[in-house]
Amino acid sequence: MLHVEGLTAAIGGKRILNGLDLDVGAGEVHAIMGPNGAGKSTLSNVLAGRDGYEVTGVATLDGVDLLSLTPEARAAAGLFLAFQYPTEIPGVGNMYFLRTAVNAVRRERGQPEIAAVDFLATAKEHMARLEELVKTKEADIMEV
C-alpha cells in the first residue's frame, strides 16, 4: 500500500529526513514516534505534498508515485493530512468539514456524493467501532 524508500527531505538547505525506508501494508497500523525535531511532521508533510521541501527518493501509494502528484491528487488517492488541533471556523462544524472533504475525494474519483444524513450515520458507526477498538487495545496494553 504505502512504500517509502531512501526518502530524503530538506528545507532551507537543512536535511531533516535522511534515507527513510517504510512499508505499510493494507490494513496495517503503524505509529511513528520520536522526539521533537526527529522528522515526524516533515515525513507527513512530504507525503501529503506540502510545498517547500527538497525531496529525493521513492514514495508510492498502491504503486502510484506520490511525489509526482499534486496534494489534491494525493488526497483523492487516499492520503490526506488533517490538522491535529484545527482552528475553529465559526459556523462550520467538524462533521460538515469532514463530509465536504470526503465528497471532494468522491467527486475526484467519479463517485456520487454522500448526503449529510447518510454521512452522519456512517461517521457515528465508525466512531463507535473506533471506540471499541481503543478499549480493546487499552485492555491489551494493561495486560502486558
Residue 98 domain flag? yes
pLDDT of residue 93: 82
Residue 76 domain flag? no
Residues 89, 35: one domain? Answer: no
pLDDT tens for each residue of 58-67 = 999 999 999 9
Residues 23, 64: one domain? Answer: yes
Range of the domain at 137: 82-144
Residues 111, 140: one domain? Answer: yes
Residue 77 domain flag? no
Structure letter (DSSP) for residue 86 = P
Q: Which CA distances in Å does 49 have to 68, 72, 93, 127?
A: 9, 9, 26, 28
Domain count, the chain: 2
Question: Model-level pTM?
Answer: 0.69
Residues 21, 65: one domain? Answer: yes
pLDDT of residue 22: 93
Q: Which of 48, 84, 82, 51 is nearest to 66 (CA)?
A: 48
